[in-house]
Amino acid sequence: MLLFSIYFFYKVSGNSIWIALTSAIINYIISLLVIRIKPWGLAFLIIGLFFNLALLIAYKFIQTIPSSIILPIGVSFYTFENISYLVDTYTGKIKAKTSIGNYLAFIFFFPKLIMGPILRAGDFFIQFQKSTHPTAGQIGMGTYLITTGLLKKVFIADYLNAAIVQPIFDSPIQHAGVEYLVALYGYAFVIYCDFSGYSSIAIGIAKWMGLDLTANFNAPYLAKNPSDFWRRWHISLSQWFRDYLYIPLGGNQGSKLRIWTKLLITMVLCGLWHGFKANFIIWGIFHAVLLAVWGKHTFKGKFAILVQRFLLFQLICLGWVFFRNENLSNALFFLEQCFKNWNIPVLNQFCKQYYKVLIILLLAIMTHLLPSSLKTNFGSFFGKLPVVSQAAILFLIIWLIEHYQFAPSLTPIYLQF
């Protein structure tokens, strides 16, 4: 598995794999020093953190300038795994692995290597040391996750991006307000279906190998408040920032001003994790304000919860405007256009021209609204099918993608991070 993972990484990163391998070996050595030379453990931990953060900052900086340097993809993800491993080793949550093969297997585990989910070493090693023969339930759930992940990625994310999101967001000409608004909602499901689709595939492949990875998404647009959203969106990343940044800063302890300051620091750094660009900083500040002002507050009652979910979704989409547009002026122009040129003739023309987009967007919304229990039942149903039937269903989906792909493939959005 390790040899294949390294080969897989080489195929997507070329010779820059040596950067990732060197980084992993250095972190492995530092982790041993942290444990074996205890009087200097904190010093070695600081050296390790500095090394990893310097590598990450250099990677993000090089992304912002024209350069011929080819860096390995997925740096943001496995750098965070290296950091969490060093911290957990120092605090005694896990024991430093004496086998470098085990450590490299954790870092280069190929299903999650490119875009996560971000693993915790303790969770991985516990499973890896046990029998990894997959059960029938794991195989069935894996097939279900891979199948639904492909459908979300190709038939929803790729199509919506090509049909309306990219033409509207990247077009210099003005469009009708309804086009801007639907493009905004479309992007909300493009970034969700694109990333969660990949995560589902990664988790599904791991299940085929007998390993259970933590879910990375849980219907985030059904969140009742901003805190709930971050418990549902990119779960492995939000938990990483919570456990290794927000809580060490003091968490929810202290005055409101101190808590808000810690939220601001955490979310701005979360924005910078995506890239050294102003739009990501604005996006991080925007979510920090939401967490500070709204936070965990939830009104009781079914109608009140529906209103809260609807309002929060609008605010999240507002944040996506700043996330998608690389500068503030473009974001403000986009928001301004959402409220212009609304009239009956334009709406009629839009419905005729974009009826397929509306159908796919409606399908995305409906699948998002499905209860989690129903999705689990689908996975259980797959587990009860003969393996031949599961393979036939997956083959059919791949065949349909190959022959009836409605739009050019979108390069995974989080691949750039």
pLDDT at residue number 122: 87
- Mean of pLDDT over the chain: 89
**105, 67 in Cβ contact below 8 A?**
no
Instruction: Tell me how crowded residue 137 is: count the other CB atoms within 10 A of its CB.
Output: 14
Q: Which of 58-67, 72-81, 221-230 is the most confident on average?
A: 221-230
pLDDT at 208 (0 to 100): 92
| Mean predicted confidence (pLDDT) in 125-138 | 81
Q: pLDDT band at residue 67, thresholds of 50, 70 and 90?
A: low
Give the total residue count for the chain.
Answer: 417
Helices (H), 92-130: 100-107, 121-128
Query: In the chain, what percentage of residues exceed pLDDT 70?
Result: 98
Quote the CA–CA distance of 162 and 147 in Å, as a whole number: 22
Q: Which residue has the tokens 């990893």?
A: 52
The packing angle between helices 136-151 and 177-208, to 10°, is 160
Q: How many CB atoms lie within 10 A of CB 329?
A: 9
Q: Is 175 a catalytic residue?
A: no
Over residues 208-237, the pLDDT tens digits come to 999 999 899 999 999 999 999 999 999 999
> What is the structure's pLDDT at 42?
92
Q: Model confidence at 381, in pLDDT bands (50, 70, 90)?
A: confident
Please give the pLDDT value at position 206: 93
Structure tokens at 410: 């979108």
From 175, 234, 274, 287, the catalytic residue:
274
- Alpha helices in 129-176, H assignment, sequence order: 136-151, 159-160, 166-169
Question: Are 79 and 51 contacting, i.e. CB atoms less than 8 angstroms apart?
Answer: no
Question: Where is pLDDT greater, at 49 or 64?
Answer: 49
CB-based contacts of 60: which residues, under 8 Å, 6+ apart? 76, 272, 275, 276
